[in-house]
C-alpha cells in the first residue's frame, strides 16, 4: 500500500450525472458561504419573531424584572432561533439560498 492510497470522504451535495455539479473549489466555497449566510438570515428573522412573541411575557417577582431579564430574553430568543434553524428551520433559509444562488449565476444542486 502506498502513501497515496488514503481514502478521502465523499463530497456531499453533489450528484454524478443527476444535474449540474460544482466545477471548482472556489464554487464550492461560494456555495458554502451562501448556505451559511441564508441560515444566519433565517436565525435573525426567527429571533426577531420570537422576541416579539415573548414581549408581553412577565416573570414572577423573585426571579424576574429589570434589565437583566430583558437581556436574558434577548439571548434566549437568539439561541432558540439558531437551534430551530439548525434543526431545519421554517423554510426561509432554503428560499433565500436559492435566490442568492440565482443572483450569483449558479444553479441549485439536487440533493
Tens-digit pLDDT profile for residues 69-82: 777 888 889 999 99
Instruction: Give the lowest-confidence range in 31-35, 50-54, 80-84.
Output: 50-54
Higher pLDDT, 65 or 39: 39
Rounded Cα gap, residues 75 and 101, in angstroms: 31
Domain boundaries along the sequence of the chain:
24-104
Average model confidence (pLDDT) across the chain: 79
- pLDDT beyond 70 at 27: yes
pTM of the model: 0.68
Helix axes 92-103, 25-53, angle to 10 degrees: 140
Q: Which helix (H) or strand (E) holds 103?
A: helix 92-103
* CA 11 remoteness from chain centre: 19
Amino acid at each position: 500500500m502506498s502513501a497515496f492510497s488514503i481514502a478521502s470522504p465523499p463530497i456531499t451535495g453533489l450528484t454524478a450525472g443527476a444535474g449540474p455539479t460544482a466545477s471548482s473549489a472556489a464554487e464550492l466555497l461560494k456555495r458554502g458561504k451562501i448556505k451559511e449566510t441564508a441560515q444566519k438570515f433565517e436565525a435573525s428573522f426567527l429571533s426577531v419573531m420570537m422576541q416579539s412573541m415573548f414581549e408581553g411575557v412577565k416573570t414572577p417577582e423573585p426571579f424576574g424584572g429589570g434589565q437583566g431579564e430583558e437581556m436574558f430574553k434577548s439571548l434566549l430568543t437568539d439561541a432558540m432561533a439558531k437551534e430551530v434553524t439548525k434543526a431545519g428551520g421554517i423554510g426561509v433559509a432554503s428560499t433565500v439560498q436559492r435566490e442568492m444562488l440565482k443572483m450569483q449565476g449558479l444553479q441549485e444542486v439536487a440533493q
